[in-house]
Amino acid sequence: MLFDVDGTLIDALANQRQVWRAWAGHYDLDPDQVYATALRTRPQDTFTAVAPGEDPDQCLARLHALEDEDARSGTYDAFAGASDLLTALPPRRWALVTSNYAHRVAIRFHRCGLPLPEVVIDAPAAAHGKPHPAPYLLAAQRLGVAPSDCLVIEDTASGAAAGLAAGMTVWTVNAAEPVPGAHRHYANLQAAAADILDHLS
């Protein structure tokens, strides 16, 4: 079981928008354009797309400062059903695959009372980010399973495309409408929880 984090397990999309708006304001960029790009790519790829003339290390440092502060003190919560679902999963049978950073995921999971798996594939872990299959393929490798034996739970078209390109089964949750290519779509995570556990067994 391979889970995306933001928008799938944790409802922090409003926080992400606020952070990227603050970051865009520092560089006098259109916050809506920046956020639309950030939703589809890793931070490094976002910087290249929206601020090619800026130092990417400084861009990342500023973003980290904003996101770390939000992780520590922002208001967000896990989606309904996330805690019970993750607690029911056997160790070494699931992983997180996120375009965020592992230390921030750990803070948010702790604040939301969610268990952390042994395998977390974060933004710098893979050579390419979603929609490239590399992050999901790396997660399967670290769990010691074939990609075809993996079920991906995502909320965005970019994440779903990454799972599909990796040759995995993809179910989407929490999206306003079905994501093209996904094998199943559920209105929310809680609606999918029983089927996720059945699929694992």
Q: What is the token pair recorded at 49?
A: 């797309």
C-alpha span between 39 and 50 (Å, rounded): 13
Between the alpha carbon of residue 50 and those of residues 34, 43, 55, 110, 196, the distances in Å are: 6, 10, 12, 32, 37
Catalytic residues: 4, 6
Does residue 117 have a cis peptide bond before it, meaning omega lies within 30 degrees of 0? no
Q: Which residues have a Cβ under 8 Å from the Cβ of 61 and sit 6 or more positions away? A: none
121 touches 142 (CB < 8 A): yes
Torsion angle, alpha carbons of 128, 103, 169, 157, to 10: -60
Q: What is the three-class DSSP state of 134?
A: helix
C-alpha span between 176 and 185 (Å, rounded): 10
